[in-house]
Every structure is written in structure tokens, then in C-alpha cells.
């Protein structure tokens, strides 16, 4: 699609601006921004629905070139900054051309074209900013009062961007990712294909990563940079092929440094096709690194089906958290431990699927992961069936004093990470800290289409965590594939 422009169009726009200013009028005035936005920073702006980036068509520098969406590709035609014009309004400037986004030809109708044009100071070139609880933004044009909109919810590269009456839905929600400065270390998703149930730790100059293998082995890779994990070689750190009771279907490896020693916990069973024998098993590293070599220590819960184990350390005590069937519900449970491979005392259920968003395709709570921040203890878990695009993350917080009491845990009523940004079924996560210890990062898996399920299509993905004013974690929406962001602090 192309547009033919003449000098008369610029003269017409100038005349309209002058006329409106003379009478103090505009077609509509949107409510000013609910939250300020960072200025003088270049951003990639991606759709919360499609995961594709705002893009000036064909990287054109011509006034009137159309705004569309396209696969993120680091082109400066996909980089924009916000310039304040006062009163809570901003110009949105395209980096490659220096021109600003506008409602083309002062068209106030739903579906009107959005294009770039020389900055003329018109209200059709000014936008207010609304920030949503999930960390996304909506942009409302001052002239028309309508929101920047992904037309007809398209997921196709090259689809048009328009304006439409504000509704706050995902077609009008956009995610901002700051463009790293030249020479700054970067990372982009995915980190690896066939990367279900990922776990990452940073230790002594290296990132270590392990994911589900589906076979008899536990593998690990390491790299000095997070992005380097994409190409690092996998090393087999454990092989159960000769042990019938745990030979097969290895899932969800996690490695934790407890008391100065690395322990690796994984799920496996006695069959590649029948998962009724799946149980947790624990290894101990005989070296100072997560790469091992490892020795087998034990099976913490040998008499029941149990998967997705993780550790909670609190006030000098150690606890095991896992997922198990309790009646019709796959639930999150906890028990005290005397050491990293031995459970003692009672088993307590602290979360079962109760909300509608936890029962899509199956009544599922699984994959607990601990996040501790400023003296508070949170536990994420994955809800609904992984066979659906509705697999997602929920959040528990320890609000009481006794982690072995169900009443001490409070569940957030809404999910904290769900499909968006072109990522479906995001879940089974872990957490890791940046090299300098100043940032917390999220690692999780997700699919690229809604029809993919619990298999090898799931990719390992990462993104930084921010913190809400009330002290709870904000995971935002899944970071779209290909969007380049600054690597963890300290690289």
C-alpha cells in the first residue's frame, strides 16, 4: 500500500491548525495521561495482542508514510520516543525520520490512518498516555479522542495501525522496551527452542540453564552472558537410563545452592508413555558449580505421585513445595525437610484451583517457584492445562507466620502472567538475579501459536521483573520474540 502526497496537504494541515487555534477548538480532547512516560529514551513498541512492533512502512522517510506492525528487527524505523508538549500530552517521534505520528488528514473516524508527518504542532500529532496494571500502555489522540489501535486484531506482519474508540482491550495495548545504548549487552527471546520447564541461575561469572529433556537425562548449559545461552552446548550432568524406577520422562530440573552446596531436583518415572510413576528425585553436586558431577541422594516422596518440586528457605528452615493430585484437583503442597532430600512431618495443601482462570482444560495448580523480596515471600504457580493457550501464572504470598498452614497463604485473585505479545500458554517459571544483584528476572516457557500444547514446541523465554507500589511483583506481559532489550545489570 502506498500514498501519494503533495505540498498542498501540508498547507491544508497548517490552515486547519491555525483555524482550530483561533477558535480554541479541537474535534475531541482525550483525558490527560494517567501516568507520565519516560522521555528522551528510544523504545520498541509492540502489540500486546500480536507481539509485532510498530513500524514505519518500508522504513520510509517520506511524510505520510503509514504506520503498520512488523516483525521486530532492530530497524530504527521501529524505534520511537516520547516528547512532552505539556498538559500530559506527547509527540511520538520516529527515530529514522525525525517525523511524528499523527491522525492522517485530520480524520476523526474510527479506522482512520495513522502516519508520520513533519512536526506541525497539531493536536492530531499529540497523544495522551494511559498505563495499565499489566505494564502495557494505551495512546489516545488529542484531536480525535481515539486510541491507537491494531486494526481488526490482525496478527499479520504489515497489518495497518489505525485509531478506534477507546476500549482498553489488547488491540489498543502496547508494550514498551527501551532500546539499549550502543555497545550495551543485550538479550532477546527465545533463549532456546524445545525449552520447556526452564530454570536459570547466575553463579560465579556464568549463567546456568537446564530444561526438560523428555528422556533419561538431565542436561545443562552455561554461558557468560544471558544471550550466550542460545548457542551454548548442552552437557549431560545425569543419566538414569540404567535405573528402571526413574529411567524415563525427565521433566522440570531445578538446581539450588543450599548451605553452600548445589542440589538438583527433577521429576522422572518408569515409562516414556505412562506418567503414573512420576516422582521427584534429588542429586547433590560434588563440585562447587551446578555442572556437577552429581551423586544421587534420594526420592523425597517415594510413595505418591508428585511433580515440579522446588525449595523454600525461610527463617533457617527448609521446605519442599510440589504439585500433587488432591481429589479432582492438581494442587500445590508443602512439607518441612530435614535435609534437601528428606521430607519430615505432614503434607499441607496451600493452593487448589478455585478461580475460573485456573480450570481451563483441567483443574491445575503446578510448578511452584519462590520469589523473596524486601522481606516478603511470594510463590508463583502455573494454572490451567498446559495443553491450552490459557496456561498462565498465579501468585501466592505468605501473609501469615507459618508456611505449613494453608491460612498463612493468600492467593491473588487474578493471574499475574498470561498469553500476550504473540506468546501462548506462558508458565512453569523460575527466577534468577542479575550479575550485580540489583535485578530480579523471570524465566518461563511459552508457545508461539494457540494450538501448541505441552510438548517440545515450548520455548525458553526471559524478561525483567518490576515491582508495584504495594510491593508485589509485576511480570507485565510476555516479551515478544525478537525484541532486543538490555541484558541483566552487571554483564
Cell of residue 469, nine digits: 507500589
Catalytic position from the list 102, 149, 366, 491 = 366
> How many Å apart are CA 385 and CA 338, to the nearest integer?
33
Using CB atoms within 10 Å of the CB of residue 22, give its burial: 0 to 12 exposed, 13 to 18 middle, 19+ buried: exposed
Pick the closest to residue 308 from 260, 247, 261, 253 (CA basis). Answer: 253
Q: Please give the helix or strand (H or E) that residue 21 lies within, else none.
A: helix 7-23
Question: Which residues, including other chains, have CB under 8 Å from residue 359's CB and lie 6 or more apart?
Answer: 353, 384
Go through 175-188 and write b for each residue having 16 or more CB atoms within 10 A of its CB, e for each that does not. Answer: bbbebeeeeeebbb
366 labelled catalytic = yes
Cis check: omega of the bond before 293, within 30 degrees of 0: yes
Catalytic position from the list 93, 102, 197, 358 = 197
User: In this structure, is the dihedral angle defined by the CA atoms of residues 325, 393, 486 and 94, taken in order, positive or negative?
Assistant: positive
Q: What is the DSSP letter of 193?
A: S
No. of helices (H) and no. of strands (E), the chain? 1, 35
Pairing of strands 466-467, 127-131: unpaired
Catalytic residue annotation: 197, 366
Amino acid at each position: 500500500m502506498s500514498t501519494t502526497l503533495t505540498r498542498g496537504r501540508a498547507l491544508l494541515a497548517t490552515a486547519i491548525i491555525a483555524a482550530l487555534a483561533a477558535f480554541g477548538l479541537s474535534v475531541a480532547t482525550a483525558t490527560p495521561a494517567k501516568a507520565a512516560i519516560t522521555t528522551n529514551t528510544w523504545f520498541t513498541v509492540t502489540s500486546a495482542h500480536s507481539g509485532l512492533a510498530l513500524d514505519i512502512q518500508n522504513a520510509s522517510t517520506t511524510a505520510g508514510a503509514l504506520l503498520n506492525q512488523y516483525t521486530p528487527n532492530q530497524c530504527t524505523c521501529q524505534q520511537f520516543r516520547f516528547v512532552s508538549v505539556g498538559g500530559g500530552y506527547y509527540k511520538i517521534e520516529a527515530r529514522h525520520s525525525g517525523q511524528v505520528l499523527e491522525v492522517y488528514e485530520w480524520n476523526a473516524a474510527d479506522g482512520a490512518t495513522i502516519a508520520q508527518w513533519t512536526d506541525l504542532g497539531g493536536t492530531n500529532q499529540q497523544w495522551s498516555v494511559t498505563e495499565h496494571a499489566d505494564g502495557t500502555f494505551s495512546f489516545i489522540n488529542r484531536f480525535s479522542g481515539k486510541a491507537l489501535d491494531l486494526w481488526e486484531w490482525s496478527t499479520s506482519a504489515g497489518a495497518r495501525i489505525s485509531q478506534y474508540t477507546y476500549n482498553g482491550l489488547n488491540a489498543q495495548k502496547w508494550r514498551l522496551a527501551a532500546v539499549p545504548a550502543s555497545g550495551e549487552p543485550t538479550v532477546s527471546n527465545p533463549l532456546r527452542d524445545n525449552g520447556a520447564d526452564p530454570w536459570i541461575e547466575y553463579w560465579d561469572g556464568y549463567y546456568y540453564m537446564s530444561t526438560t529433556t523428555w528422556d533419561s537425562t538431565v542436561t545443562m548449559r552455561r554461558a557468560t552472558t544471558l544471550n550466550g545461552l542460545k548457542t551454548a552446548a548442552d552437557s549431560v550432568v545425569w543419566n538414569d537410563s540404567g535405573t528402571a524406577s526413574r529411567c524415563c520422562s525427565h521433566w522440570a530440573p531445578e538446581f539450588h545452592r543450599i548451605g553452600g552446596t548445589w542440589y538438583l531436583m527433577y521429576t522422572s518415572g518408569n515409562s516414556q508413555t505412562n506418567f503414573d510413576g512420576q516422582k521427584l528425585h534429588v542429586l547433590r553436586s560434588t563440585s562447587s558449580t551446578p555442572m556437577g558431577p552429581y551423586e544421587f541422594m534420594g526420592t523425597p516422596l517415594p510413595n505418591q505421585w508428585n511433580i515440579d518440586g522446588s525449595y523454600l528457605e525461610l527463617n533457617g528452615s527448609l521446605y519442599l513445595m510440589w504439585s500433587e493430585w488432591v481429589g479432582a484437583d492438581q494442587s500445590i503442597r508443602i512439607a518441612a525437610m530435614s535435609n534437601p532430600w528428606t521430607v519430615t512431618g505432614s503434607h499441607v495443601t496451600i493452593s487448589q484451583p478455585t478461580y475460573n482462570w485456573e480450570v481451563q482444560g483441567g483443574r491445575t495448580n503446578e510448578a511452584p517457584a519462590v520469589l523473596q523480596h524486601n522481606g516478603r515471600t511470594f510463590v508463583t504457580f502455573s494454572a490451567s492445562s498446559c495443553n491450552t493457550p490459557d496456561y498462565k501464572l498465579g501468585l501466592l504470598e505468605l501473609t501469615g507466620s507459618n508456611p505449613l498452614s494453608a491460612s498463612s497463604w493468600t492467593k491473588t485473585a487474578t493471574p499475574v502472567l498470561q498469553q500476550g505479545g504473540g506468546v501462548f500458554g506462558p508458565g512453569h517459571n523460575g527466577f534468577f538475579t542479575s550479575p550485580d544483584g540489583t535485578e530480579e528476572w523471570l524465566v518461563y516457557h511459552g508457545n508461539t501459536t494457540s494450538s501448541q500444547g505441552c510438548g517440545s514446541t515450548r520455548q525458553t523465554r526471559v524478561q525483567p521483573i518490576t515491582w508495584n507500589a504495594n510491593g508485589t511483583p509485576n511480570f507485565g506481559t510476555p516479551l515478544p520474540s525478537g525484541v532486543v532489550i538490555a541484558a541483566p545489570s552487571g554483564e
